[in-house]
């Protein structure tokens, strides 16, 4: 072929790529315009970057979005979701042009921000800024763990993300970036869209950080491309260079121009949201050589992107052919690892406790953790600098650190928020059952990540200990009172506050068998093993509530959670000494109990019988089950834990008095 012919073909290909990018920009204007809601400018500015990622860089097969060894993509600036939806549609994922027309509408597959499990090709739920950034770190941890344990014939891919100034401003990204740099996560590549625009105006109103220097200080590999957002070859070269860096994560800084190439709105703060009038759209499309038609995708552009989306099929089929040999003899382990499940018979490893024991539930949980690690292949556990305190120690396990990617003992450092988000990302990647611990009072620091875990059904286990004013001398700053009740408000979060060691083991069974996030709320102080839990806890915790102490024709029901169940049992003894018939109910998980049928709930709570709740926390909410409540509707105090509990009325004597008063 002559040089002239070669040059002509290259020019033709380049022209097609430019037209393809313009189509993406057109969709980025059209879908929000049709919805009268959305974010146009960022998606337009990032169209060339998205084009390079999906057509030149990423390894994926649009026809098999769940292929385990695919590259992962995260749009951390989730408000620009139309960009991701456009690329998913164009490259052949199961997302139609009609789905784009239904952008942000009720029941559509194209919600306002990307949601994993809702839209094919979306790997993690993003939108709250910084969450996608931190979740990507979890995905990179999961990828390197699988690769280290099963070999690169089975796992060998990258995590790609686009992040914004908003992501880098949020504190969670600082926490996550620091840990990623420490761990040297070489399969993690982020592109920073440095567009200098925020909602209120120029980012310089509040942000003058040197992002490149900051990430270099974190230990990242950094490339500053300057004005290269429209240079496809420069973008490809930088992404390829980052892909080749194996010993640390990469950040590529690109100066872009929001809403480019709009004649009126380029670099305008208004373009962060819905800014384009019909005239603006027409003018911009005319400038790009397009017609006014909405949602236009020419056949040659569609064919170009479909080819890009199917290119990875050869790699997927090759993986499917070679992976069985690599996994020979380890098939069960692989399946359990990907599903975050236990090996056959794993339940038998859980400890049981006799009535002569009295371990704190955090101690019992620690024994469960140690027992589960060998029989749940994806089990990784750690804490925010509180491994010993929270019972998340894996005896003899390798520590996750640079050079030990197979490590299962994770030191998250004092980074509670990032810990939560990293757990969510690791869970959605697949291959890990992440467990992370801290004190219950610091669940406040994690709440945004916990909420997204519940919203996106991420299978992870939050271990929160030191669950009441029984913490003692540390005082009210460390004594949770409102936290358990506030966590119960989160839809989809299974909150379990076990009463003793047997309930704790049963709670771990729920966590491993389940499909979404579980919160274990555990005591610092010792608590007796109840006489009936060895026989009843497995089914009782699974159902959320059950009878632990009963009498014929009970006159009063005491319903409690956690260590206060033992207090209620003791109070029942006092009442029975006075001739009263008493039932005691343990209610470790409200959501699971509420999911039972009416007959079961009524068999436990005995409707019509006066009921007293007992919990060392706020009483708001207990009115759904109880006629009177023993709780703590104030902050705690600094003193030995037993003294604080006594002074605030969490005693068997006080419970008995309240029940007697209720009986008149």
Q: C-alpha angle with apex 126: 122 to 127, nearest 5 degrees?
A: 135
Are 366 and 488 contained in the same domain? yes
Are 397 and 282 contained in the same domain? no
Residue 322 lies in a domain: no
Are 472 and 570 contained in the same domain? no
- Which helix (H) or strand (E) segment holds residue 87: the answer is helix 81-90
Residue with tokens 């982020």: 190
Evaluate if residue 3 carries a pLDDT over 90: no
Evaluate if residue 436 carries a pLDDT over 60: yes
Other beta carbons within 10 Å of 617 = 28
Among 464, 487, 521, the domain boundary falls at 521
Per-residue pLDDT tens over the stretch 131-188:
999 999 999 999 999 999 999 999 999 999 999 999 999 999 999 999 999 999 999 9
The confidence score (pLDDT) of residue 664 equals 83
Among 315, 333, 360, the domain boundary falls at 315
Query: Which candidate, 519, 521, 517, places its Cα nearest to that of 499?
Result: 521
The confidence score (pLDDT) of residue 322 equals 94
Evaluate if residue 49 carries a pLDDT over 90: yes
Pairing of strands 201-202, 611-614: unpaired
Q: At what angle do helices 501-513 and 533-543 cross, to 10 degrees?
A: 40
Q: What is the full DSSP assignment across 293-331?
A: -TT---HHHHHHHHHHHHTTHHHHHHHHHHHHHHTTT-H
Single out the catalytic residue among 102, 143, 416, 564. 416
Evaluate if residue 283 carries a pLDDT over 60: yes
Are 550 and 429 contained in the same domain? no
Distance, in Å, from the CA atom of 75 to the CA atom of 334, rounded to the nearest integer, reads 28
For residue 190, list its beta bridge partners.
Answer: 161, 251
Are 557 and 441 contained in the same domain? no
Distance, in Å, from the CA atom of 649 to the CA atom of 652, rounded to the nearest integer, reads 9
The confidence score (pLDDT) of residue 2 equals 59
Q: Is 302 exposed, middle or buried (0-12, 13-18, 19+ CB in 10 A)?
A: middle
Are 294 and 241 contained in the same domain? yes
Domain that includes residue 282, residue range = 13-315
Per-residue pLDDT tens over the stretch 287-326:
999 999 999 999 999 999 999 999 999 999 999 999 999 9
Are 264 and 381 contained in the same domain? no
- Which helix (H) or strand (E) segment holds residue 222: the answer is strand 221-226
Per-residue pLDDT tens over the stretch 499-515:
999 999 999 999 999 99
Per-residue pLDDT tens over the stretch 596-644:
999 999 999 999 999 999 999 999 999 999 999 999 999 999 999 999 9
Q: Model confidence at 4, in pLDDT bands (50, 70, 90)?
A: low
Alpha helices in 409-532 (DSSP H): 416-429, 443-456, 483-488, 501-513
Could you tell me if 453 and 495 are in contact, meaning their C-beta atoms sit under 8 angstroms apart?
A: no
Could you tell me if 584 and 549 are in contact, meaning their C-beta atoms sit under 8 angstroms apart?
A: yes
Domain count for the chain = 3
Mean pLDDT score across all residues of the chain: 97
Evaluate if residue 1 carries a pLDDT over 60: no
Per-residue pLDDT tens over the stretch 239-256:
999 999 999 999 999 999
- Both tokens assigned to 507: 């709670």
Whichever domain contains 446, its CATH number is 3.40.50.970
Evaluate if residue 9 carries a pLDDT over 80: no
Distance, in Å, from the CA atom of 545 to the CA atom of 613, rounded to the nearest integer, reads 13
- Report, as an integer, the average pLDDT of 641-656: 97
Per-residue pLDDT tens over the stretch 396-416:
999 999 999 999 999 999 999
Query: Which candidate, 296, 303, 305, places its Cα nearest to that of 91?
Result: 305
Per-residue pLDDT tens over the stretch 175-221:
999 999 999 999 999 999 999 999 999 999 999 999 999 999 999 99
- Both tokens assigned to 19: 């037209």
Query: Which candidate, 355, 365, 351, places its Cα nearest to that of 530?
Result: 355
User: C-alpha 475: how far from its chain's center?
Assistant: 31
Share of residues in the chain with pLDDT > 70 (%): 98
Residue 526 lies in a domain: no
Residue with tokens 């007293």: 612
Residue 326 lies in a domain: no
Q: Model confidence at 12, in pLDDT bands (50, 70, 90)?
A: confident
Quick check: pTM over 0.95? yes
Q: Is 145 exposed, middle or buried (0-12, 13-18, 19+ CB in 10 A)?
A: buried
Residue 286 lies in a domain: yes
Could you tell me if 420 and 446 are in contact, meaning their C-beta atoms sit under 8 angstroms apart?
A: yes
Distance, in Å, from the CA atom of 395 to the CA atom of 379, rounded to the nearest integer, reads 13
Query: Which candidate, 654, 634, 383, places its Cα nearest to that of 520?
Result: 383
Whichever domain contains 560, its CATH number is 3.40.50.920
Distance, in Å, from the CA atom of 561 to the CA atom of 540, rounded to the nearest integer, reads 12
Query: Which candidate, 321, 320, 376, places its Cα nearest to that of 348?
Result: 376
Instruction: Say how many Å lie between the first and final Cα of the chain, rounded.
Output: 101
Residue 180 lies in a domain: yes
The confidence score (pLDDT) of residue 50 equals 98
Integer-rounded Cα Rg, in Å, for the chain is: 28
Residue 400 lies in a domain: yes
Per-residue pLDDT tens over the stretch 216-238:
999 999 999 999 999 999 999 99
Q: Model confidence at 11, in pLDDT bands (50, 70, 90)?
A: confident
Are 350 and 303 contained in the same domain? no
Are 517 and 547 contained in the same domain? no
Q: Is 602 a catalytic residue?
A: no
Per-residue pLDDT tens over the stretch 73-108:
999 999 999 999 999 999 999 999 999 999 999 999
Residue 117 lies in a domain: yes
The confidence score (pLDDT) of residue 334 equals 97
Alpha helices in 184-229 (DSSP H): 211-218
Q: Is 441 helix (H, G, I), strand (E, B) or coil?
A: helix
Are 398 and 253 contained in the same domain? no
Pairing of strands 546-549, 582-586: antiparallel
Residue 383 lies in a domain: yes
Are 50 and 191 contained in the same domain? yes
Helices and strands in the chain, H and E counts: 26, 18
Query: Which candidate, 468, 467, 446, places its Cα nearest to that of 458?
Result: 446
Are 435 and 358 contained in the same domain? yes
Query: Which candidate, 206, 67, 73, places its Cα nearest to that of 140?
Result: 73
Distance, in Å, from the CA atom of 194 to the CA atom of 258, rounded to the nearest integer, reads 10
- Both tokens assigned to 478: 């460390």
């Amino acid at each position: 072929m002559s040089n002239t012919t070669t040059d002509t073909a290259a020019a033709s290909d380049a022209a097609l790529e430019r037209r393809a990018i313009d189509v993406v920009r057109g969709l980025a204007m059209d879908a929000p315009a049709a919805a009268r809601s959305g974010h146009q400018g960022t998606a337009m500015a990032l169209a060339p970057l998205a084009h390079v990622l999906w057509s030149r860089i990423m390894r994926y097969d649009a026809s098999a979005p769940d292929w385990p060894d695919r590259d992962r993509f995260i749009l951390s600036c989730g408000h620009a979701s139309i960009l991701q939806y456009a690329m998913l549609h164009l490259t052949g994922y199961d997302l139609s042009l009609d789905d784009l027309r239904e952008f942000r509408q009720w029941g559509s597959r194209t919600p306002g921000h990307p949601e994993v499990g809702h839209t094919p090709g979306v790997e993690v739920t993003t939108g709250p800024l910084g969450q996608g950034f931190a979740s990507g770190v979890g995905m990179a941890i999961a990828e390197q763990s699988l690769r280290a344990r099963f070999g690169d014939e089975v796992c060998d891919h990258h995590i790609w993300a686009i992040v914004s100034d908003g992501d880098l401003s949020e504190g969670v990204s600082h926490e996550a970036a620091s840990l990623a740099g420490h761990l040297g996560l070489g399969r993690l590549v982020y592109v920073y869209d440095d567009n200098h625009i925020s909602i209120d105006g120029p980012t310089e109103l509040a942000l003058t950080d040197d992002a490149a220097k900051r990430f270099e200080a974190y230990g990242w590999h950094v490339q500053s491309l300057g004005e290269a957002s429209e240079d496809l070859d420069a973008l490809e070269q930088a992404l390829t260079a980052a892909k080749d860096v194996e010993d640390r994560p990469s950040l590529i800084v690109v100066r872009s121009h929001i809403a480019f190439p709009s004649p009126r709105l380029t670099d305008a703060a208004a373009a962060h949201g819905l800014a384009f009038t019909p005239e603006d759209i027409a003018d911009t499309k005319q400038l790009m050589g397009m017609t006014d038609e909405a949602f236009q995708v020419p056949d040659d552009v569609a064919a170009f992107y479909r080819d890009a989306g199917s290119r990875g099929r050869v790699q997927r089929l090759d993986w499917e052919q070679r992976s069985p040999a690599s996994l020979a003899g380890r098939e069960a382990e692989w399946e359990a690892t990907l599903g975050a499940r236990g090996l056959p018979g794993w339940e038998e490893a859980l400890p049981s406790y006799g009535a002569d024991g009295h371990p704190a539930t955090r101690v019992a949980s620690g024994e469960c953790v140690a027992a589960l690690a060998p029989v749940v292949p994806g089990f990784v556990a750690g804490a925010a600098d509180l491994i010993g305190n929270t019972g998340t120690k894996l005896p003899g396990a390798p520590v996750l650190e640079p050079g030990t990617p197979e490590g299962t003992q994770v030191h998250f450092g004092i980074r509670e928020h990032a810990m939560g988000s990293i757990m969510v990302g690791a869970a959605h990647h697949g291959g890990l059952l992440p467990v992370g611990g801290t004190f219950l009072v610091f669940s406040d620091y994690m709440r945004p990540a916990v909420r997204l875990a519940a919203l996106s059904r991420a299978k992870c286990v939050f271990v929160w200990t030191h669950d009441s004013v029984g913490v003692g001398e540390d005082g009210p700053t460390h004594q949770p009172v409102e936290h358990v009740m506030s966590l119960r408000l989160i839809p989809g979060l299974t909150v379990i506050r076990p009463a003793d060691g047997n309930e704790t083991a049963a709670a771990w069974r729920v966590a491993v068998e389940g499909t979404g996030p579980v919160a274990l709320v555990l005591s610092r102080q010792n608590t007796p093993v109840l006489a009936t839990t060895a026989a009843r806890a497995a089914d009782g915790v699974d159902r959320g509530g059950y009878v632990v102490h009963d009498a014929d024709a009970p006159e009063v029901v005491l319903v409690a959670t956690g260590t206060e169940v033992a207090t209620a049992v003791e109070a029942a003894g006092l009442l029975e000494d006075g001739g009263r018939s008493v039932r005691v109910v343990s209610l470790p998980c409200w959501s699971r109990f509420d999911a039972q049928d009416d007959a079961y709930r009524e068999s436990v709570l005995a409707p019509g019988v006066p009921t007293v709740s007992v919990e060392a926390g706020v009483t708001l909410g207990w009115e759904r089950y109880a006629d009177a409540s023993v709780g703590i509707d104030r902050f705690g105090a600094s003193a030995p834990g037993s003294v604080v509990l006594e002074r605030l009325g969490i005693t068997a004597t006080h419970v008995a008095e309240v029940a007697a008063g209720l009986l008149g």
